[in-house]
Amino acid sequence: MFGAKRIDRASGLGPDVSPEYRELVERWEAKADRTPPRAGKGSGAVDRTISDVPLKALYGPEDVAHIDLARDLGVPGEYPYTRGIHPTMYRSRLWTMRQFAGFGNAKQTNERYHFLLSQGQMGLSVAFDMPTLMGYDSDAPQALGEVGKCGVAIDSVRDMETLFDGIDLGAITTSMTIKGPAAIALAQYIVTAENKGIPRGKLGGTLQADILKEYIAQKEWIFPPRPHVRVIVDMMEFCTREMPRWNTISVSGYHIREAGSTAAQELAFTLADGFAYVEAAMARGMDVDEFAPRLSFFFNSHIDFFEEIAKFRAARRIYARHMREKYGAKDPRSWQLRFHTQTAGCSATAQQPENNIVRVAFEAMAAALGGTQSLHTNSMDEVLALPTEKSVEIALRTQQVLAYETNVTNVVDPLGGSYFVEALTAEMERQAEEYFAQIAEFGGMIEAVEAGFPQREIADASYRYQRSIEAGERVIVGVNAFEKPDETQPPDLLKIGVEIERGQARAVQGVRESRDAAAVESSLAALKRACAGEANVMPYLIDCVKAVATEGEIVDAMVSVYGRYTETTQF
């Protein structure tokens, strides 16, 4: 799409080189050709990234000869934002340190939030448990054994009130990682705030809401793709009108990567999902500049340091180009890809878990060098269980050391102009554009997802990766090299007992008994009519929440109109 041909010396990053330099390079090449590659552990993958992108031993001006300084790099804070979305980046403002947290019941999680805020965390990020994410109440048969395990259980607005007890929702920003029931969680948040006297227009935060990646990777869906996207567009429309500080969708590659994708797949499928929402909202008749400034992204930071930095830089450039050239956005804020980053859970190992602290530090640094707007650093023990308070503290301190001690924040895009990083950034963009072309052949991303295309690509990549580990081509310290055979696990893992599940089940039953049943019924009936018709569902969801309908009841009402999605299984 953005053709690359050799450009002249004045505008190019790679200048024409002198005969003296050319001679030096030829000498190096001769030596390099004679030098045998390293043997032994992990030597099978010296010539490629973790995503199998081929690597040369040395990069030079010839590798960036096609890069035009003005067209491809520009300056920070200006189109195409390759070097960052703000003119001075972390010099003027550090990224937001935002640790994702949630477990057990709302009261326990509220205590963790107060702890994190007291330790210098700058924003909240809610992890919900599986039943909440799938639209089941804690006493549903499907919830058995899952309540409070992967996050906090939220059944009704009563739980949401407890979750934010003692926290000023007008002063803090909150990110909520929820997709299928995202609109319901937003309604609960609005009602919680308004009950405390904070109007919805003052609320700041982000909903993940990205449902397309659920079908692709994370598998926490409720309805089929099309009605889900309709509810998302309703939410975008509602927030545009009533919640100027709210970010409607956090288009997420994190889970795509965790499911085993390559870096380029993460980049391509995530951006394609984002463009699908842009297209859906435009099809509704919304102006792109009206909603696009409040779309944000969420990427994984994996262990292949330079590949990740290249991925982040490429993401900004691709997004800016498509938003301006393809979707006709005119507001520069619509061109800016803002993103949250989380270090790669799938790079953490159960063996020698302390090593994960080191992995997280490298991954966090890649995110900072890639220009992230906010960051979650994983805790060392998350591969074993929910993180303990101690390990969460280390993870947060890792960010603080990075931000305040290493000085990587002092210069904007410090790797910009690196022959290697620029070449790899361009390669990431090229691979993403190749995927966009394949997706277009399906008729668009929703169609590609329905056909299982990204799902297949990811499963193949994940199997290839696992095979390369098995073959010893790649080394994972503590797993297939440098093992400690007699290792025992740390004894102080955080576990959520059955009493939480029982207590939460009793609590939601108590909620159902203590409210005005007729008000619940009529609000749910009105919601069903809205779902079946054309009306925006948000006000109806807010009414249901005000009547203290539970999440499970609201979801059931919507399922009665939209149906539940079932996946065609493939491996």
Partner 1 sequence: MTTTNAPARPLRVIVAKAGLDGHDRGAKVIARALRDAGMEVIYTGLFQTPEQIVQTAIQEDADGIGLSILSGAHMTLFPLVVEQLKEQGAEDIVFFGGGTIPQDDAEELKRLGVREIFTPGAPLSEIITFVERECGKRREAVG
Q: How far is the CB of 146 from partner 1 (least distance, A)?
A: 5
Please tell me whether residue 179 binds partner 1 under the rule CB under 8 A.
Answer: no
- Pull the structure tokens for residue 224: 């089929």
State how far Cα 525 lies from the chain centre: 35
Q: How far is the CB of 40 from partner 1 (least distance, A)?
A: 19
Please tell me whether residue 146 binds partner 1 under the rule CB under 8 A.
Answer: yes
Cα 546 to Cα 195: distance, rounded to the nearest angstrom: 10
Please tell me whether residue 475 binds partner 1 under the rule CB under 8 A.
Answer: no
159 φ/ψ sector (left φ>0, alpha ψ -120 to 50, else beta): alpha
Residue 399 CA: distances (Å) to CA of 42, 55, 123, 409? 29, 30, 14, 12
Residue 443 half-sphere exposure toward CB, CA atoms < 13 A: 5
Please tell me whether residue 385 binds partner 1 under the rule CB under 8 A.
Answer: yes
Query: Residue 408: which of 309, 263, 303 has the closest Cα?
Result: 309
Scan residues 220-239 and list those touching partner 1 (CB under 8 A). Answer: 220
Cα 225 to Cα 209: distance, rounded to the nearest angstrom: 12
Q: How far is the CB of 208 from partner 1 (least distance, A)?
A: 14
Please tell me whether residue 489 binds partner 1 under the rule CB under 8 A.
Answer: yes
Question: For the packed helices 538-546 and 182-195, what is the interaxial angle rounded to 10 degrees?
Answer: 60
**Residue window 490-519: x/- pattern of binding to partner 1, with contact defined by CB under 8 A:** ---x-xx-x---------------------
Q: How far is the CB of 23 from partner 1 (least distance, A)?
A: 49
Residue 66 half-sphere exposure toward CB, CA atoms < 13 A: 11
Nearer Cβ to partner 1 (102/371): 102
Residue labelled with tokens 């297939």: 480
Binder of partner 1 out of 97, 126, 143, 508 (CB under 8 A): 143
Q: How far is the CB of 475 from partner 1 (least distance, A)?
A: 12
From the list 16-24, 413-421, 473-481, 532-540, the region that binds partner 1 by CB under 8 A is 473-481
Nearer Cβ to partner 1 (259/329): 259
From the list 90-98, 218-226, 237-245, 533-541, the region that binds partner 1 by CB under 8 A is 218-226
Nearer Cβ to partner 1 (131/274): 131
Count Cβ atoms within 10 A of the Cβ of residue 283 and give its class: 0-12 exposed, 13-18 middle, 19 or more buried.
exposed
Binder of partner 1 out of 470, 499, 516, 521 (CB under 8 A): 470
Beta strands at 295-301 and 249-252: parallel, antiparallel or unpaired: parallel
Q: How many CB atoms lie within 10 A of CB 406?
A: 12
Please tell me whether residue 567 binds partner 1 under the rule CB under 8 A.
Answer: yes
Please tell me whether residue 380 binds partner 1 under the rule CB under 8 A.
Answer: no
Nearer Cβ to partner 1 (459/535): 459
Binder of partner 1 out of 48, 196, 219, 430 (CB under 8 A): 219
